[in-house]
Amino acid sequence: MKLFKWLYKTRTAKQNNNSNLENNSSKVIDKIPKVKNKTQDLWNVWNFEYQIYGLSQIARGLYDIHNVGKVHKDFHSGNILFNSIPYISDLGMCQPVNESKQSEGIYGVLPYIAPEVLRGYQYVKASDIYSFGIVMNEYLSEKIPYCNVPHDDILAVKICKGLRPKIANETPNLLSDLIKKCLDAKVGNRPTAKELYQTLEKLSNEQLNPNSDIYAQIEECKRIRANMFQNESNEISECLDTQISEDISF
């Protein structure tokens, strides 16, 4: 199984008022080092229990942003920082949700941009939710979205026509269903950040209960992951280096 290629950690991020928003502009960020040999100990660190908890905290951070009437507008995996809990960073594009002024062109990392934004419509809270769905799938599958295809107008058109990253078979159904809702082409069908946070927090609290659905699904997916870990190459893609927000023109 490949390592989380997009994970970052920060030495200086601190929790502020129990919010998961990054509030310190001076960060020391380290990429997780490349590992030449597979180690089961390392793999055990990044398990479903931690992943679901981490996703719930990222959703909490997004809810904090939306709750004060703002949208992030550049939400992607490279803007998630990790200390003891995840933090959402790079709020430079953040603006009031009712902001009518539209900047020229489209700015961001193409695989994470919602289809309505690619079509030229105003960025709304649900556009952040779409981006969260891409990040969530990336986090669980450990696959960078659209890694092996050019990030160009052809990809943008395909996304607008319904192309989405593949959801890994070893993803628990309760989580894959949530990803699909986030990635729905219809803005109104996507959950709110509050609903995302509440759902993921509930799953995080239930995942150690042997009588819960999420526990049974996790146990089955762990068996699938264990087999994949034994068979998959440990070569780590360099795709993360291409994930730089930029002006996109078609």
Per-residue HEC secondary structure of 22-45 comes to CCCCCCCEEECCCCCCCCHHHHHH
Is 225 a residue whose pLDDT tops 80?
Answer: no
**CATH number of the CATH domain containing 139:** 1.10.510.10
Is 234 a residue whose pLDDT tops 90?
Answer: no
The answer to whether position 191 is within a domain reads yes
Is 90 a residue whose pLDDT tops 90?
Answer: no
Is 193 a residue whose pLDDT tops 90?
Answer: yes
Q: How many domains does the chain have?
A: 1
The answer to whether position 241 is within a domain reads no
How confident is the model at residue 9, as a pLDDT? 29
CA distances from 6 to 70, 78, 129, 240 (A): 25, 6, 19, 6
The answer to whether position 9 is within a domain reads no
Q: Band of the pLDDT at 1, cuts 50, 70, 90?
A: very low
Average the pLDDT over 107-121 and give the result: 93
How many whole angstroms separate alpha carbon 217 and alpha carbon 209? 12
* pLDDT-above-70 percentage for the chain: 67
What pTM was computed for the model? 0.75
How confident is the model at residue 46, as a pLDDT? 56
**Which residue, 193, 206, 82, is CA-closest to 130?**
193
The answer to whether position 20 is within a domain reads no
The answer to whether position 116 is within a domain reads yes
Residues 6 or more apart whose CB falls under 8 angstroms from that of 100 comprise 122
Residue type, 28: V
Mean pLDDT of all residues in the chain? 77
Q: In the structure encoding, which two tokens stand for residue 23, read together?
A: 């509030």
Is 214 a residue whose pLDDT tops 60?
Answer: yes
Average the pLDDT over 231-249 and give the result: 56
- Per residue in 44-72, pLDDT tens? 445 888 899 999 999 999 999 999 999 99
The answer to whether position 245 is within a domain reads no
Average the pLDDT over 113-120 and give the result: 95
The answer to whether position 80 is within a domain reads yes
How confident is the model at residue 15, as a pLDDT? 34
- Per residue in 6-21, pLDDT tens? 232 222 233 334 445 4
Alpha helices for 119-234 (secondary structure H): 125-141, 153-160, 173-182, 193-206, 213-231
Is 155 a residue whose pLDDT tops 60?
Answer: yes
Q: Band of the pLDDT at 94, cuts 50, 70, 90?
A: low
Residues annotated as part of the active site = 74
How confident is the model at residue 224, as a pLDDT? 82
Range in 9-23, 25-39, 110-124, 174-188 with the lowest mean pLDDT: 25-39
Domain of 162 in residue numbering reads as 42-230
The answer to whether position 246 is within a domain reads no
3-class DSSP state for residue 56?
helix
Average the pLDDT over 116-125 and give the result: 94
How confident is the model at residue 3, as a pLDDT? 27
